[in-house]
A = this chain, B = another copy of it.
């Protein structure tokens, strides 16, 4: 299979590929319209030709047309121009043409993946897409399972649901069949490894006791907050975890935040310290979450070292559920897979990235810790991965992939035997997942993307390498720029941290300003001019996003950043928050040298113009 040509995959910022897009769309819509006609060709037309010329009919069409004109006008006036490289804010860019076309055409057939009966085609596509993701993430395709969720938040919910129900099931086993867990204390029961639990449940299934156990488990009895234990997440976590703790009845005080280090990765020393504290007090640990691609910084946690830590603790009979929130970063594992789907050795990877010019030599990506993290992903129990982020699929498509599909029985609405007989009983997805009715169209979009763009270095890897390269270029330009002048006044710009992935955070400052509040204020004003805050963005030269890092969440991690601006630890402790501009570089159009150089020149000119405007406005206010 040849490599994909990334430029053929998108509509393009200037609708460069519009002819192909329109031709395919017309064809697919015609296919649908004539499919309707061909269903029992002799059936009568229910809407008669003469009716179409009645006044009521035409008035109704007018009303529909006016509604659609209003919608289209509003969309054009205020929508975010994701497709343009001038947009470098949230996790958005152009999306795959094939995904859009698959989505659009499938909506017309309107399948509902809640049940096979309502989606004979797209339920199969969803299961296929899940298998494809499982393969990319390194799970055993025969044992694993995955499906499309409405978003990463719901995928995280399902992970917590699985963790809660599997980790507490030994208590129910003890109640129903005490001999099975002979003499084990509550502490020991709550520390049985996930795989061991599933094996025990297999035996109970054979004995016909599984349903009885389920009936004494948390799903039937309700949560007892005293036995759930703690759920450990890095401070850099997505806020869906906080919502999850509320929803699943675990309680937010049992969701324990772990500090991040200077790379904004989970601090393993702190993690160990927290775990040791709980172990000493015999408080069980329900789960640990590692993040691959934090939503703020794009940081990649040390998945490999966290997995090793679990192995070590398990030798001492302490165990927990291990989930990876790779909603953002998951698809980047495609870069590391050769055309046969084999995870490349580090040297081989670097050689291939350089020789195929996917990532420039001087950019030196990925660093070994990032490589090792991606390699270790299959050591987790489950992974959240969002097609609508680095899968370049339109909203809303998240996904969860599970290493050992036997665990589904812990959340399934049906008795266990149904899933085992999957071959005979087509999937009633609604019984194994959190959602009910769900669009087959998103599943089709994800499936079509994976089919047209292989989940390895020949396909997705090429798109995502462009994104990583674009981010690295931006980081280096900012780093190199350092100080510059605007109308004779010296300013400076510094990046927060070398990106693990594709997010660049940075801030401007007057070169001689050492007041952090003033610096924050400048960047807030820049953001407002580069966002919806100052009105519709259609005339904006540059659109970005922002974030604030505060001492409460991030401790001293932001200190090295503000020190670049000549500010001290005292200033950090005084202000305790730093405001940054944040650019997720998903766009595939900043990877080429010629394009990038022109772009950067234009960008920095815009920024200078904006800072000048701000200075003038401030001066006017003083007067």
Contacts and interface: CB of A to CB of B under 8 A. Distances in A.
A435 B63 contact: no
Contacts of A242: 413
Nearest to A77: B121
A298 interface: no
A187 interface: no
Given A151-B437, A437-B395, A448-B67, A79 B120 contact: yes
Interface stretch (A107-115, A129-137, A274-282, A365-373): A107-115
A364 interface: no
User: For the complex, would chain A's binding face be called helix, strand, loop or mixed by DSSP majority?
Assistant: helix
Interface in A441-459: 441, 444, 447-448, 451-452
A362 to B, nearest CB: 23
A196 to B, nearest CB: 23
A565 to B, nearest CB: 27
Interface in A242-271: 242-243, 245-254
A120 to B, nearest CB: 4
B71 A220 contact: no
A252 B219 contact: yes
A531 B221 CA distance: 38
A452 B34 CA distance: 26
A11 B36 contact: yes
| A46, A60, A79, A90 — most chain B CB neighbours (10 Å) | A46
A100 interface: yes
A153 B43 contact: no
Nearest to A254: B222
A65 B386 CA distance: 24
Contacts of A376: none
Contacts of A621: none
Interface string A1-38: 01111011111111111101110111011011111110
B5 A51 contact: yes
B14 A46 contact: yes
Contacts of A75: 32, 35, 105-106, 109, 111, 121, 444
A438 B395 contact: yes
* A81, A107, A441 pick with most chain B CB within 10 angstroms: A107
Interface string A45-63: 1110001101011111101
A105 B103 CA distance: 11
Contacts of A108: 100
Contact of A31 (B76, B82, B396, B435): B76
Interface stretch (A223-231, A343-351, A473-481, A506-514): A223-231
A423 interface: no
A589 B45 CA distance: 10
Contacts of A31: 72, 76
A434 interface: yes
Nearest to A124: B74
Identify the interface centre among A24, A108, A248: most chain B CB within 10 Å of its CB. A108
A398 interface: yes
Contacts of A109: 75, 79-80
> Which has the most chain B C-beta neighbours within 10 Å: A31, A39, A107?
A39
Given A105-B71, A248-B248, A413-B239, A436 B13 contact: no
Please tell me how many copies of the chain the complex holds. Answer: 2
Given A71-B106, A74-B121, A152-B436, 13 more contacts: A5-B54, A8-B47, A8-B61, A9-B64, A14-B44, A17-B52, A72-B105, A80-B120, A218-B249, A224-B224, A224-B225, A246-B411, A247-B247
A161 interface: yes
Nearest to A1: B63
Contacts of A90: 117-118
Nearest to A51: B7
B40 A16 contact: no
A118 B92 contact: yes
Contacts of A77: 121
A330 interface: no
A68 interface: yes
A165 B247 CA distance: 10
A242 B215 CA distance: 13
A101 interface: yes
A100 to B, nearest CB: 6
A250 B225 contact: no
12 contacts: A8-B61, A14-B36, A15-B34, A36-B81, A64-B101, A67-B452, A70-B451, A71-B106, A71-B125, A78-B120, A220-B252, A395-B440
A329 to B, nearest CB: 16
A376 to B, nearest CB: 26
Given A86-B40, A251-B218, A396-B150, A46 B16 contact: yes
Given A47-B12, A79-B109, A68 B221 contact: no
